[in-house]
Amino acid sequence: MQQINSFEAYIKAYQNSIDNPEQFWDGVAHQFHWTKPWETTLEWNFTEPSIKWFAGGETNLCYNCIDRHLPTKANQTAIIFEPNNPDEEVRKLTYQELYIEVCKFANVLKSLGVNKGDRVCIYMPMVPEGAIAMLACARIGAIHSVVFAGFSATSLADRINDSECKILITADAVYRGDKLVALKNIVDEALANCPSIKNCIIYNNRNENINIVPNRDLWWHNLLVHISAENTAEPMDSEAPLFILYTSGSTGKPKGVLHTTAGYMIYVGYTFLNVFNYQPQEIFWCTADIGWVTGHSYLIYGPLLNGATTIMFEGVPNYPNAGRFWDVVDKHQVNIFYTAPTAIRALEAQGTQWFEGKDLSSLRVLGSVGEPINEEAWQWYHKNVGHSNCPIVDTWWQTETGGILISPIAGITPLKPAFATLPLPGVQPVLMDANGNEITENDVEGNLCIKFPWPGMSRTLYGDHERFRQTYYNTYKNYYFTGDGARRDHKGYYRITGRVDDVINVSGHRIGTGEVEDAINTHASVVESAVVGFPHDIKGQGICAFVIITTPQENLEQEIKETVSKIIGPFAKPDRIIIVPGLPKTRSGKIMRRILRKIAEGDISNLGDVSTLLDPGVVVEIRRLAGVFRGGI
Q: Does 247 bind ligand PRX (CB under 6 A)?
A: yes
| Cβ(299)–Cβ(286) below 8 Å | yes
- Other beta carbons within 10 angstroms of residue 17's beta carbon come to 23
The shares of helix, strand and coil residues in the chain, as percent rounded to the nearest 5, are 35, 25, 40
Nearer to ligand PRX (CB atom), residue 365 or residue 420: 420
Residue 407: CB minimum distance to ligand PRX, A: 8
Q: Does 399 bind ligand PRX (CB under 6 A)?
A: yes
Q: Which stretch binds ligand PRX (CB under 6 A): 124-132, 180-188, 300-308, 479-487?
A: 479-487
Residue 303: CB minimum distance to ligand PRX, A: 16
- Scored b (16 or more CB within 10 A) or e, 219-241 reads ebeebeeebeeebebbebbbbbb
What count of residues does the chain have? 633
Nearer to ligand PRX (CB atom), residue 372 or residue 455: 372
The single-letter code of the amino acid at 386 is: G
Q: Does 293 bind ligand PRX (CB under 6 A)?
A: yes
Q: Find the binder of ligand PRX among 107, 163, 231, 395 (CB under 6 A).
A: 395
Nearer to ligand PRX (CB atom), residue 293 or residue 607: 293
Nearer to ligand PRX (CB atom), residue 274 or residue 505: 505
Q: Find the binder of ligand PRX among 67, 82, 348, 484 (CB under 6 A).
A: 484
Residue 124: CB minimum distance to ligand PRX, A: 19
- Other beta carbons within 10 angstroms of residue 123's beta carbon come to 25
Question: What is the distance between the alpha carbons of residues 141 and 20, in angstroms, rounded to a whole number?
Answer: 32
- Scored b (16 or more CB within 10 A) or e, 557-590 reads beebbebbbbbbbebbbbbbbbbbebbbbeeeee
Give, in order, the Cα–Cα distances in Å from 194 to each of 167, 321, 347, 428: 10, 39, 40, 42
Strands 336-339 and 283-286: parallel
Residue 482: CB minimum distance to ligand PRX, A: 6
Residue 449: CB minimum distance to ligand PRX, A: 12
Q: Does 370 bind ligand PRX (CB under 6 A)?
A: yes
Q: Does 294 bind ligand PRX (CB under 6 A)?
A: yes
φ, ψ dihedrals at 451, nearest 5°: -105, 5
| Coil vs helix vs strand at 607 | coil
Residue 245: CB minimum distance to ligand PRX, A: 9
| Cβ(582)–Cβ(546) below 8 Å | no
Question: What is the distance between the alpha carbons of residues 218 and 203, in angstroms, rounded to a whole number?
Answer: 9
Q: Which stretch binds ligand PRX (CB under 6 A): 7-15, 64-72, 288-296, 524-532?
A: 288-296
φ, ψ dihedrals at 187, nearest 5°: -60, -45
Q: Find the binder of ligand PRX among 52, 69, 144, 499 (CB under 6 A).
A: 499
φ, ψ dihedrals at 197, nearest 5°: -75, 125
| Cβ(418)–Cβ(375) below 8 Å | yes
Nearer to ligand PRX (CB atom), residue 139 or residue 499: 499
Residue 553: CB minimum distance to ligand PRX, A: 36
Q: Find the binder of ligand PRX among 139, 206, 510, 539 (CB under 6 A).
A: 510
Q: Find the binder of ligand PRX among 54, 313, 397, 493 (CB under 6 A).
A: 397
Q: Does 369 bind ligand PRX (CB under 6 A)?
A: yes
How many residues of this chain bind ligand PRX (CB under 6 A)?
Answer: 24
Residue 537: CB minimum distance to ligand PRX, A: 17
Q: Find the binder of ligand PRX among 51, 186, 405, 420 (CB under 6 A).
A: 420
| Cβ(202)–Cβ(218) below 8 Å | yes
Taking CA 54 as the corner, what is the angle to CA 49 and CA 58, rounded to the nearest 5 degrees?
125
Using Cβ positions, the residue closest to ligand PRX within the complex turns out to be: 399
Residue 210: CB minimum distance to ligand PRX, A: 31
Q: Find the binder of ligand PRX among 129, 394, 515, 518 (CB under 6 A).
A: 394
Residue 406: CB minimum distance to ligand PRX, A: 8
* Contacting positions for ligand PRX (CB under 6 A): 247, 292-294, 368-372, 394-399, 420, 482-484, 496, 498-499, 505, 510
